[in-house]
Chains A and B, each alone.
Chain A
Amino acid sequence: MLLLEGVTKRFGGLTAVRDVTLEVAPAELLGIIGPNGAGKTTLFNVIAGYYRPEEGRVLLEGRDVTGQPPYVICRLGLTRTFQIVKPFGNLSVVDNVMIGSLTRVTNMRAARVDAERVIETCGLGAYARMPAKALPIGLRKRLEVARALATRPRLLLLDEVMAGLNPSELAGMVELIRRLHADGLTLVVIEHIMAAMMRLAHRIVVLHHGELIAEGPPARIASDRRVIDAYLGEEFVLAPA
């Protein structure tokens, strides 16, 4: 579905992402982990069209989208959320989502109906008329997801949508991601919360200093020596639920 071929992104002398080759299969739920500054968000920025890579190609469903602007990539069915949430603060929650809907639905009334449906899916129904800036962080993260979903992506990049959530919000977000995935959405998820990641992801890749250092099913990643040294610090054991 998504294929990265030898992607390298440099900022001046700093190589943020180095020669990353990665494939995401349709209906997969791929996790990306790594220490802060490993290049995870930079990789998202390259995939979603915010940065043009110095080397390598990005192929979406076989089509070369390297260097295409984000709005084109969104229309082709790939969009992302932002780690530092970017709500349209002065607009209501439903209007925020409706702006996403309007990319696929040109009729205003139909777009509003569509936005309200997405809001319900994401559990934001009770906050529809509230200005986005009045939402607490947990709900803002949900709004990020809702807005992205409204553009009807086939592949969605989630950048730390669980960070800063309390345990019940976290459970809700895991549940939402599971449901979206069950509905056939392909997901790539950046996350630091290993417990959630171990339960969610089919496969995890590990970035360190911009390079892919490991790849595999969650259980194998958790016991991989290089991953433990670079990131986890100690062997991660998933507590029995």
Chain B
Amino acid sequence: MESLLARHWAALVIFGLAVLTPLFVRDAFFLDSLVLILLWGALSAAWNVASGYAGQVSLGHSAFFGIGAYAAALLATRWQQSPWLGMLVGVAVSLAAGALIGYLSNRLRGPYFALSTIAFSQVLLILASRWRGFTAGSEGIPVPFRPGFWTLGLGHVAWVYVALGLAVLYYLAQVYLERSRIGYRLAGVREDEDAAQALGIPSRRLKVFAITLSAAMTSVVGTLWAQYVGFVDPVYVFSVDLSIRFALNTIIGGMGTALGPFLGSILITTVETYLRATFSGVKTGFAGIYLILYGCILILVVRFVPEGLAGVAARLRARAARAHA
């Protein structure tokens, strides 16, 4: 029990604060930022499953995000179905898409795999932009706001708890990957695929599993995001920028760690939200400055804490343990 507390104290603090915040803070801007932090954290955690734990670094995960977003938006606007149903459809399509891309790019390693995933997301971008009769093309789809849990028409406080529930679930999924048989075997595949095979590990099958799981997890957040923001357009949801954002949060926070994606999201989302708010209006000329800041943060992290912010947390814990001893 004690070791459980020691291992997960940072997550308990972060998620605990998120539970308490809506009880004391009613400021819409603040709560909105909190929802975004949690959703971006969950997205990065989903990316981390394939890229951090299994070593299949994808730069096309926006594909699955877009599938989730479109599935729910189309079902809601065309057939008046619940976004929860849309979420299931999105997951089903993403599972198939994840298995397909996982299977097709199975032999590719390293940057070649990453390139193939980019191509996949760009194919979907073209499909969604050009198939105007079905997807409304590049104009996008406004998602109607219909109050109620079943329709995901929620207030800010409720959204915080929905996003938080998902974030905690994804955190636990990652912890499971760290401690389970399949997680150990995936780590072997990530570290050295040939050696893993010599040890009796069906590496290709496991890679497909990791990508498929990661795709489904991404899709779920895509659905929620579309309902929360209320608008889906192909250029955003299938963009490479979005895929890179998942990667960036996780790399900064710590790849292959359960906490990393959330730490990265807290830092990056906060900085971005702050800068957007500060440099809006007359000073819109500075609106792009957050991109420069991203770059600087990334350089600093890679230079000084290559294992990510979660690595710093682990170092501090080790130091505290030594001080106690």
A70, A86, A98 pick with most chain B CB within 10 angstroms: A70
Instruction: Check if A147 is an interface residue, CB within 8 A of chain B.
Output: yes
Q: Are A99 and B194 in contact (CB under 8 A)?
A: no
- What residues of A have a CB within 8 angstroms of the CB of B201 in the complex? 71, 99, 103
Q: Chain B: which residue is nearest A85 at the CB level? A: B195
Instruction: Check if B185 is an interface residue, CB within 8 A of chain A.
Output: yes
Q: Chain A: which residue is nearest B192 at the CB level? A: A86
Q: What band does the interface of chain A fall in when counting residues whose beta carbon is under 8 Å from B?
A: 20 to 34
Instruction: Check if B187 is an interface residue, CB within 8 A of chain A.
Output: yes
As a 0/1 sequence over residues 70 to 110 of chain A, the CB contacts with chain B under 8 angstroms (1 = contact) are 11001100011110001111110001001110110010100
Using a CB–CB distance below 8 Å, which chain B residues touch chain A? 179-181, 184-185, 187-188, 191-192, 194-203
- What residues of B have a CB within 8 angstroms of the CB of A90 in the complex? 191
Provide the bound-state CA to CA distance between A99 and B201, in Å.
9
- What residues of A have a CB within 8 angstroms of the CB of B198 in the complex? 48, 70, 74, 79-82, 148
Provide the bound-state CA to CA distance between A80 and B195, in Å.
9
Provide the bound-state CA to CA distance between A50 and B198, in Å.
9
Q: Are B202 and A71 in contact (CB under 8 A)?
A: yes
Knowing A88-B191, A90-B191, A91-B191, say if A74 contacts B181 (CB, 8 Å).
Answer: no
Instruction: Check if A20 is an interface residue, CB within 8 A of chain B.
Output: no
22 A–B contact pairs at CB < 8 A?
A50-B197, A70-B194, A70-B197, A71-B202, A71-B203, A74-B197, A74-B199, A74-B200, A81-B198, A82-B194, A86-B195, A88-B187, A88-B192, A89-B191, A95-B184, A100-B200, A102-B181, A103-B199, A108-B179, A147-B195, A147-B199, A150-B199
Interface residue ranges of A172-205 to B (CB < 8 Å):
none
- What residues of A have a CB within 8 angstroms of the CB of B181 in the complex? 102, 106, 108, 111
Provide the bound-state CA to CA distance between A98 and B179, in Å.
12
- What residues of B have a CB within 8 angstroms of the CB of A91 in the complex? 187-188, 191
Contacts A87-B195, A102-B185 known; 9 new A-B pairs at CB < 8 A: A48-B198, A74-B197, A82-B198, A86-B192, A88-B188, A91-B188, A95-B184, A99-B201, A108-B179
- What residues of A have a CB within 8 angstroms of the CB of B179 in the complex? 108
- The secondary-structure label for the interface of chain B is helix
As a 0/1 sequence over residues 49 to 75 of chain A, the CB contacts with chain B under 8 angstroms (1 = contact) are 110000000000000000001110011
Using a CB–CB distance below 8 Å, which chain A residues touch chain B? 48-50, 69-71, 74-75, 79-82, 86-91, 95, 98-100, 102-103, 106, 108, 111, 147-148, 150-151
Q: Are A82 and B191 in contact (CB under 8 A)?
A: no
List of 10 A-B pairs having minimum Cβ-Cβ separation, nearest first: A103-B200, A88-B191, A74-B200, A86-B195, A70-B197, A99-B188, A86-B192, A100-B199, A71-B202, A71-B200
Q: Are B202 and A99 in contact (CB under 8 A)?
A: no
**Minimum Cβ distance to chain B for residue A178 (Å):** 23
**Minimum Cβ distance to chain A for residue B89 (Å):** 34
**Minimum Cβ distance to chain B for residue A103 (Å):** 4
Provide the bound-state CA to CA distance between A95 and B191, in Å.
12
- What residues of B have a CB within 8 angstroms of the CB of A82 in the complex? 194-195, 198
Provide the bound-state CA to CA distance between A151 and B194, in Å.
15
- What residues of B have a CB within 8 angstroms of the CB of A48 in the complex? 198
Q: Chain B: which residue is nearest A102 at the CB level? A: B181
- What residues of A have a CB within 8 angstroms of the CB of B194 in the complex? 50, 70, 82, 86
- What residues of A have a CB within 8 angstroms of the CB of B203 in the complex? 71
Provide the bound-state CA to CA distance between A66 and B24, in Å.
67
**Minimum Cβ distance to chain A for residue B296 (Å):** 27
Q: Chain A: which residue is nearest B256 at the CB level? A: A90
- What residues of A have a CB within 8 angstroms of the CB of B202 in the complex? 69, 71
Q: Are B180 and A99 in contact (CB under 8 A)?
A: no
- What residues of B have a CB within 8 angstroms of the CB of A98 in the complex? 184
Knowing A71-B197, A74-B199, say if A99 contacts B185 (CB, 8 Å).
Answer: yes
Q: Are A99 and B197 in contact (CB under 8 A)?
A: no
- What residues of B have a CB within 8 angstroms of the CB of A95 in the complex? 184, 187
- What residues of A have a CB within 8 angstroms of the CB of B197 in the complex? 49-50, 69-71, 74
- Within 8 Å by CB of B180, from A74, A75, A108, lies A108
Provide the bound-state CA to CA distance between A75 and B198, in Å.
9
Provide the bound-state CA to CA distance between A98 and B194, in Å.
17
- What residues of B have a CB within 8 angstroms of the CB of A103 in the complex? 199-201
B191, B196, B202, B203 pick with most chain A CB within 10 angstroms: B191
Provide the bound-state CA to CA distance between A89 and B192, in Å.
9
Provide the bound-state CA to CA distance between A86 and B198, in Å.
11
- What residues of B have a CB within 8 angstroms of the CB of A148 in the complex? 198-199
- Within 8 Å by CB of B195, from A75, A88, A108, lies A88
Knowing A71-B197, A79-B200, A82-B198, say if A102 contacts B191 (CB, 8 Å).
Answer: no
Provide the bound-state CA to CA distance between A151 and B180, in Å.
18
Provide the bound-state CA to CA distance between A89 and B256, in Å.
14
- What residues of A have a CB within 8 angstroms of the CB of B180 in the complex? 108
**Minimum Cβ distance to chain B for residue A80 (Å):** 6
